[in-house]
Amino acid sequence: MIRFILVLAIIVTILFILRSRSKKNSKISQNTYRILIIAIIVFGLLFLISTSGRYIFPQILQLIKFGLPFLTKLIGI
């Protein structure tokens, strides 16, 4: 898991470096790099959540089960 996070961090830093160098070369716009960076971060987080779902997902479901009665009381008022 830690290796995956390190690989993602390295990829994002490489993209940041390429983005800063793209000011000189206008072949690829900075918006493209921004979209790539955000996509890699989002897909990495989704991958982490899906692989460690046995820890994160049940806790989220327990919070929803606990908070749902309070939410329905607030809506009913």
Angle, alpha carbons 53-5-12 (nearest 5°): 125
SS3 per residue for 15-65? HHHHHHHCCCCCCCCHHHHHHHHHHHHHHHHHHHHHHCHHHHHHHHHHHHH
pTM here is 0.51
Name the pLDDT band for 76 (thresholds 50, 70, 90): confident
DSSP label at residue 27: S
Q: What is the pLDDT of residues 18-65, one digit of tens each?
A: 777 766 666 667 677 778 888 888 888 777 777 765 666 677 778 888
pLDDT at 43: 82
